[in-house]
Structure 1
Amino acid sequence: MAIQSEAALENGLIATLRKMNYEYVQIVEEGNLMSNFKRQLEIHNKKQLAELGRTEFTEAEFEKIQIYLEGGTRFEKAKKLRDLFPLETENGQRIWVEFLNRQHWCQNEFQVSNQITVEGRKKCRYDVTILVNGLPLVQIELKRRGIELKQAYNQIQRYHKTSFHGLFDYIQLFVISNGVNTRYFANNPNSGYKFTFNWTDAGNVPFNELDKFAAFFFDKCTLGKMISKYIVLHEGDKCLMVLRPYQFYAVEKILDRVVNSNDNGYIWHTTGAGKTLTSFKAAQLVSELDDVDKVMFVVDRHDLDTQTQSEYEAFEPGAVDSTDNTDELVKRLQSNSKIIITTIQKLNTAVSKTWYSTKIDEIRNSRIVMIFDECHRSHFGDSHKNIMKFFVNAQVFGFTGTPIFTENAVDGHTTKEIFGNCLHRYLIKDAIADENVLGFLVEYYHGNEQVGNGSENRMTEIAKFILNNFNKSTFDGEFDALFAVQSVPMLIRYYKIFKELNPKIRIGAVFTYAANSSQDDELTGMNSGNYVSESVGEADELQAIMDDYNEMFGTSFSTENFRAYYDDINLRMKKKRADMKPLDLCLVVGMFLTGFDSKKLNTLYVDKNMEYHGLIQAFSRTNRVLNEKKRFGKIICFRDLKSNVDTAIRLFSNSNNPEEIVRPPFEEVKTEYQQLAKDFLQKYPTTSSIDLLQSETDKKDFVLAFRDIIRKHAEIQIYEDYDESADDLGMTEQQYMDFRSKYLDIYDNVIPKPQPSATPASNDEQGGEDADGSLEDIDFCLELLHSDIINVAYILELIANLDPYSTDYAERRQSIIDTMIKDAELRSKAKLIDGFIQENVDDDRDNFMAGKQKADGTSELEERLNNYITKKRTEAIHTLAQEEDIAPEVLNHYLSEYDYVQKEQTDIIKDALKEKHLGLIKRNKTLKRIVDQLRSIIRTFSWD
């Protein structure tokens, strides 16, 4: 039976959409696209045009609309799509032009087209385009069955660089499919393939097949609703986000409850699955309902209040009012504020103390919807009862990743008892299966059995183990770690032990302390119903730790501004800011084990008794999705918690199969690696075998086979039992590195991938079939072959430490070049650095040694490197200009435009070549040659 072709898949999808009452429109190129847009916009705005006594925009009026739509970034255009445009008509009147009906999302004009040809920096034909009111808002890229789905994703990323422009900048959603696997994602080119999603039903059963996906997702009302209601414009990152199916169903359930009943309920979504985004969208949409007076988002501690506020602000600045104290909360409740974030402590004070409650008595009967964050905390004591007794018409909804059941109830109260029925479930097993969170690698360290639990010797042994294994667990510090200990006194002892060991990594600590009477109890999290606080340490011990922190980072924190200290640790652990040195390891007792959300945290060390929801919450600090390199959250237990781990996983995954959540033991992964290595070496016994590969298909087979080795190698090396020098892995580390070099050689020959617009597009780009042997779209997993640690600062430090008069100078010099060659992103720059060392160390030893003695040698070296790069880049541009007889100004213009928009402006070169009056074939060859060289210059001389 023949494999279904891409064309057949495309035709089948279009037939399905036409049956769903989409109008098919044939659009050949951008001129037709604009004409169709004008007609559809006139249909959509017929009421507004009727006020003018006509059915069409004049050409001048439509030109105004076009000019308005052309300006701005992709993010700003997404806002324009959702806004009304005040159009001044030719007769001096004003009408408000609507591009998208967000309130009545079914009442938009839906069309489908295919093979629209776009002449950008490259000629492309897009597979299937869904137009809403004439604007291309959904782009569908297809691959035939058997082709990796990521090829379609990579193709879209190329389109971002080479062809998307004009009305195609208004795309909101992409869908990719090879018939059997289908995923969707928002128009956010920086997010990566990890942030593409399956669609599912309400029970989390995925619709992978394209026909099933289309039947639901492309229903006109559903698609209209997704674009109108469930795309979030993230103001912080200036990007588009789209809700995942479980988030969609949860918000829909809450809206249905609010509209149709007064019943309460809770949402059980596993920790790390995007609860803040879900709750924000729920609060936002509920607040838009006419009969709802206020929406309150209630958290249980001030640290979560701060974090939630900043996250909400990132989604929509000004959409929520934070409340810094009870007086401020009361003012907000008295005002017209529609959405309020507060803590349960402040809210309890507001309703319990007469001084406050009398001021808000007038709203106690109002229709108030309360959304409680992590509803298993704080809601079984008097605070929750007081709040519910005061707000007699309140409707409450809870969000939690770890509900309280009978099995894990401390005092017999359960989440269902307080909040009613569960409205939607998305469990950790679902999230791991969907790759929305990571699984856990849990290892148990027993150490010296003769060392007693809690003794100083045992703690020293554990501290040494952590320091010795830290780089292995965190990929040489690319990620960071938490160390959870039983009590504050134990934390203080551990901290002093680490300090005595003089660690190379940056270590800090945070814990609650004895607050004086002028401080807010909420600061220490000690006044929160039945919430069990951390043990209270002495303020002077904390201050001593802060003093070390201040010396390490140049800060000036004290116990008087504990909140600022806490927030600074939060930022440094997240490793988001290049101007902030990160904190590598943070010692905690209870803080950061709930609420803290960082993709850069991948390891949790545990010397603390944990069980049930506390255990899952703590473990879940490590399992946020980031990239290929972060494959699971790593937990190292220094206590025997296996029974507790298994019990907690069974309870919160609703499964008796912990293997769905916890990674297999080392021996099992080792066996898998051995088999992969055996099969690989049978086919490619030596690296010389790779040199003999001729066809693209043979090279592709090698790349795919070694890619499996790379992925398993990245997984196995994080296990504590892994030893790269072991002789029973099936492939030595030297063999691995040698084949790795061959793998990267093939990648280098495949890059640059995009072809310039003047040359014929590949079959793939023109909408034809994929070549079986194509290397162009393969995911080379470069993330796994690049270390964030090997950056310009690291290389400069190695150069600064070179002693040109030492006996091992040549060896250490070569090791710098070898280090770069082994890194996927830096190998193209190795020759450049080699020249820099030659010019600045080999040929200028006296000056180099003098510079090395300065207070900040690396800063001086960095300036010299920047000057060297600028000089060599200029030389490369002038050499290319001379070789191709083209003005250097043209090449510089091309490069400056690329630096600015990160898109290839091939027309700049094309226009310059037209003036040379070359024949078409020669001009195309010259264009391709020049653009390839410019791409090489970009790769070599661009170094963030």
Structure 2
Amino acid sequence: DDGNVLRFHVDYFKGGGVPIKPGEALAKQAVVEAILARHDRASNRRRFNALLATASIDDAIAYYDLFKALQAQKQAEDGDDLPLNVACIFSPPAEGNRDVAQLQEDLPQEKADNRKEPNRKKEALKAIMADYNRQYGVNFDIGTFDLYYQDVQKRIKDQKYPNSDLPHDKKIDLTIVVDMLLTGFDSQYINPLYVDRHLKYHGLIQAFSRTNRVLHGAKPCGNILDFRAQRKAVDDAIALFSGEAGERAREIWLVDPAPVGVEKLSEAVQQLEDFMQSQGVDCRPGEVASLKGDEARATFINCFREVQRIRTQLDQYTDLDPELRETIDKLLPEDDLRAFRGVYLDVAQELKARQEKTPDPNAPIQQLDFEFVLFDSALIDYDYIMKLIVRFTGQPPRKQKISREQLIGLLAGNAKFLDEREDMVEYINTLTEGKGLDEQAIREGYECFKAEKNARELAVIAEKHGLSPEALQGFIDSILSRRIFDPDALTELLHPLGLGWKVRAQKELELMDDLTTLLRKQAEGQEISGLEGYAQ
């Protein structure tokens, strides 16, 4: 109720239209297929990672083998399919090991399971750990289980790093568990939780709470997909733990159901339309440029950010039926939504730059929170875009799965590419459809394109300020190599001009005003210490 943790969205899986009796177990293959079909949506396109809570060690082993087999089959059918990185963890038979025996005091299901056919379970765990070693280039075994456990936890938490800093293949998308990690383990990046085991009261709340740590606007709720039809167990648990506010249990614990969320989206879209019409323009992305003044553009930012916030939440719901999806699409068609995102980012970037330079705390733009995180995607990164460009150039136009316009739209609507978007769009516009370039040629071509463009921009700046292009390039290279701005090097760069100190100080400001954007773009998102003083 106080906002320190998120509410939950609980989807009770319908089993393909066949009602599931409360507590009844589905066929495991149906569960795996459902997770594979829904995971990108439930995890906000792999921005987050997930847990699958299973009823026993035997179930965990069976699930691990099924994920392995079905994903191999999917990859054989579609080479572009990006498989989930699946890990599995459960404690081995104690066999006199005091550390494991102590660990299992808090793992009642695993302790009981390991009493039956312990050798078979140990062999299965060895095979799972061998796969893990191959995937991540490590070397764990049963004797170093505790280190394996720590490594799994670390890789789950590593989800916080973008793929540009830590490649996707070094992370974990889904961890299959029995008792481990369901209590006491916290990561803001766990969301969703898939449930195929009986849960009730405190255990249910504990398990669900792995998903509801507050992070940012792209994580609006803890996302639960329950495969055991445990609606009554959920209602009983949240009522019990709501204290005197028991009559408000669902309001306190659960987010709006999908139909209510769609209604709120409709209201937000209507508010955006009303505002645009009040400004004398149609509610179309291309008309945003016609808005006059900071107050009008600030209002657009607030209106569309609310549309995107609700859409982000609905996009993670796994229980949207076809009718609701159609309603959402009609409210703001995908092409319009993508175009509005691009316009939003353009306006937001401009206003944010001016926000930093405006001393008046009462100015309309000073009150804005741009929430760029709502306009980002973990899945759509540099490598993903490069592969799409290969697909775009590698097939005749009639066979293409993606057009030039769709590619540019993806870039325009994603905050990750704010600094590089212009270069990427210009590069894509130089390419010929169906030319048949491979990924290496695309990447090398893009790097050459950027280098040539940077050289042209640098030459213009050098000429403008009366500097040698070679000296200016050396100054930039020194900053980028250390990621530190050196004021003394700037003074040294301007020394040949023979300026007095007052004129030189002004010249430094003018030069850095031209260089700051170029430096930040070439730093590719990494911070340059000391440069912030020139952003004012």
TM over 0.5: same fold? Answer: yes
User: Which residue of the partner structure matches residue 833 of structure 1?
Assistant: 424
User: Which residue of the partner structure matches residue 331 of structure 2?
Assistant: 730
User: Which residue of the partner structure matches residue 350 of structure 2?
Assistant: 749
Code of the residue aligned with 2:4 in structure 1: it is N
2:535 maps to 1:938: no
- 1:763 is aligned, of 356, 359, 379, to 359
Q: 1:547 to 1:923 in 2, by over 3 A?
A: closer
Q: 1: CA distance between counterparts of 2:518 and 2:482?
A: 16
Code of the residue aligned with 2:295 in structure 1: it is T
1:607·1:637 contact (CA, 8 Å) conserved in 2?
yes
Q: 1:585 to 1:528 in 2, by over 3 A?
A: closer
2:300 maps to 1:711: no
Q: Give the drift of 1:741.
A: 2.1
Identity %: 25
Q: 2: CA distance between counterparts of 1:747 and 1:665?
A: 31
Q: 2: CA distance between counterparts of 1:549 and 1:664?
A: 39
1:526·1:532 contact (CA, 8 Å) conserved in 2?
yes
- 2:205 is aligned, of 585, 603, 616, to 616
Q: 2: CA distance between counterparts of 1:667 and 1:909?
A: 62
Q: 2: CA distance between counterparts of 1:904 and 1:770?
A: 35
User: Which residue of the partner structure matches residue 125 of structure 2?
Assistant: 542
Q: Tell me, which stretches of 5 or more residues in structure 1 are unaligned? A: 1-428, 756-760
Q: Give the drift of 1:648.
A: 2.6
User: Which residue of the partner structure matches residue 228 of structure 1?
Assistant: none
Q: 1:887 to 1:495 in 2, by over 3 A?
A: same
Q: Give the drift of 1:861.
A: 6.6
Q: 2: CA distance between counterparts of 1:923 and 1:560?
A: 65
Q: 1:676 to 1:785 in 2, by over 3 A?
A: same
Q: 1:694 to 1:725 in 2, by over 3 A?
A: same
Map 1:320-359; keep pairs closer than 5 Å: none
Code of the residue aligned with 1:740 in structure 2: it is R
User: Which residue of the partner structure matches residue 679 of structure 1?
Assistant: 271
1:482·1:604 contact (CA, 8 Å) conserved in 2?
yes
Code of the residue aligned with 1:782 in structure 2: it is F
Q: 1: CA distance between counterparts of 2:52 and 2:131?
A: 18
Q: Give the drift of 1:785.
A: 0.3
- 1:790 is aligned, of 372, 380, 389, to 380
1:491·1:588 contact (CA, 8 Å) conserved in 2?
yes
2:151 maps to 1:568: yes
Q: 2: CA distance between counterparts of 1:626 and 1:902?
A: 30
The one-character-per-residue Cα deviations of 1:668-713 (angstroms, maximum 9, x if unpaired) are 2221111111122123242243232111111111111111111111
Q: Give the drift of 1:783.
A: 0.6
The structure that is helix-richer by fraction is 2
Q: 2: CA distance between counterparts of 1:662 and 1:904?
A: 52
2:110·2:179 contact (CA, 8 Å) conserved in 1?
no
- 2:365 is aligned, of 768, 775, 779, to 775
User: Which residue of the partner structure matches residue 460 of structure 1?
Assistant: 29
Where relative contact order (Cα < 8 A, 6+ residues apart) is larger, the structure is 2
2:133 maps to 1:525: no
2:59 maps to 1:490: yes
1:508·1:583 contact (CA, 8 Å) conserved in 2?
yes
Map 1:152-231; keep pairs closer than 5 Å: none
Q: 2: CA distance between counterparts of 1:456 and 1:660?
A: 29
Q: Alignment RMSD, CA only?
A: 3.8
2:480·2:523 contact (CA, 8 Å) conserved in 1?
no
Q: 1: CA distance between counterparts of 2:373 and 2:386?
A: 22
Map 1:360-439; keep pairs closer than 5 Å: 429=1, 433=2, 435-439=3-7
Q: 1:527 to 1:828 in 2, by over 3 A?
A: closer
SS of equivalent residue, structure 1 residue 622: coil
The one-character-per-residue Cα deviations of 1:37-68 (angstroms, maximum 9, x if unpaired) are xxxxxxxxxxxxxxxxxxxxxxxxxxxxxxxx
TM-score (normalizing by structure 2)? 0.78
Q: 2: CA distance between counterparts of 1:601 and 1:906?
A: 46
Q: 1:648 to 1:843 in 2, by over 3 A?
A: closer
Q: Give the drift of 1:606.
A: 0.6
The one-character-per-residue Cα deviations of 1:136-177 (angstroms, maximum 9, x if unpaired) are xxxxxxxxxxxxxxxxxxxxxxxxxxxxxxxxxxxxxxxxxx
- 2:12 is aligned, of 444, 447, 463, to 444
Q: 2: CA distance between counterparts of 1:660 and 1:455?
A: 28
TM-score (normalizing by structure 1)? 0.46
Code of the residue aligned with 2:297 in structure 1: it is K
1:890·1:908 contact (CA, 8 Å) conserved in 2?
no
SS of equivalent residue, structure 1 residue 660: helix
- 2:340 is aligned, of 739, 742, 750, to 739
The one-character-per-residue Cα deviations of 1:881-926 (angstroms, maximum 9, x if unpaired) are 1133245545754775487567796994799499546997x986x7
SS of equivalent residue, structure 1 residue 625: coil
The one-character-per-residue Cα deviations of 1:226-273 (angstroms, maximum 9, x if unpaired) are xxxxxxxxxxxxxxxxxxxxxxxxxxxxxxxxxxxxxxxxxxxxxxxx
Q: 2: CA distance between counterparts of 1:665 and 1:899?
A: 51
2:106 maps to 1:553: no
Which structure would you say has the larger Rg? 1
Q: Aligned residues, how many? A: 488
Map 1:918-933; keep pairs closer than 5 Å: 930-933=511-514
Q: 2: CA distance between counterparts of 1:718 and 1:681?
A: 25
SS of equivalent residue, structure 1 residue 701: helix
Q: Tell me, which stretches of 5 or more residues in structure 2 are unaligned? A: 75-82, 277-281, 526-536
Q: 1:811 to 1:530 in 2, by over 3 A?
A: closer
2:423 maps to 1:822: no
Q: Give the drift of 1:837.
A: 5.9
